[in-house]
A = this chain, B = another copy of it.
Amino acid sequence: MHPEAPPGGTATPPAAPTFSPLYQQIKALITQGLEAGEWRPGEMIPSENELAARYKVSQGTVRKAIDELAAEHLLVRRQGKGTFVATHTEPRAQFRFLRLMPDEGEQAYPESQIVDCRRMRAPAEIARNLDLKPGDPVVVVRRVLAFAGRPCVLDELWLPGALFRGLTAERLTESRAPLYSMFESEFGIKMVRAEEKIRAVAADAEAARMLRVAPGTPLLSVDRLTYTYADRPVEVRRGLYLTTAHHYRNAVS
């Protein structure tokens, strides 16, 4: 497909100066396929040659589109096998969104305990962040994460109700998988990237009780806004991390 005049071709130049490179258009088409669920997480997408034939472009152009999607972790290339929709369960992505590391030893998944899961109407600020209208249905989840029996994280999540129908405390408790893996397999929502604001705060009475520390203990406050495909925000999260034996790891690059 040549959705716009091909730069290298002999077609008449377009009247409007609204250009985007062919590979960007291909990239957008693939992203739309991901968003629409045409290929689910873990599945293989068509081969480069097949996509090139389908879109009537050269293999190199498809390659460049896929290269960028792989760099953004939406796709995973595997030589000799194919290109696959990225998954939260594969090792490479395992700890991409779990940034709390033990000061000593290997990173591992914590035990999760659901404290609360209820549906309610979105407060103004949550609605604004999730691109909803105030009063739209949302799901609130509160939980405690523990490493080796030691509670270290107090989490509060806000999710669009429309996307998470049937999400209950029971299902959350039954599922042994990490949250994002479960969201991906059960609700078809794949988290792609997030923006975070990090602060140091003092534990209030409730946080102190849940994390079994003295009130006033310094905690890491992490405000996260998480996006799925096409930069759609789908989760607001407020986390309180106890950083006496753990730290938040970050790479500035």
Contact = CB atoms under 8 A, between A and B. Distances in A.
A251 interface: yes
A243 interface: yes
A121 interface: no
A219 B220 CA distance: 9
A192 B252 CA distance: 9
A23 interface: no
Residue among A192, A194, A216, A220 with the most chain B CB within 10 A? A220
B247 A199 contact: yes
Contacts of A77: none
A197 to B, nearest CB: 4
Nearest to A201: B218
B193 A247 contact: no
Centre residue among A97, A99, A196, A248 by max chain B CB count within 10 A: A248
Interface of chain A: mostly helix, strand, loop or mixed: strand
A195 interface: yes
A221 to B, nearest CB: 8
A233 B2 CA distance: 48
Contacts of A195: 249-252
A72 interface: yes
Nearest to A193: B253
Interface in A206-250: 216, 218-221, 223-224, 241, 243, 247-250
B220 A251 contact: no
A96 interface: yes
Contacts of A192: 253
A250 B253 contact: no
B196 A198 contact: no
Interface of A: 71-73, 96-97, 99, 101, 192-202, 216, 218-221, 223-224, 241, 243, 247-253
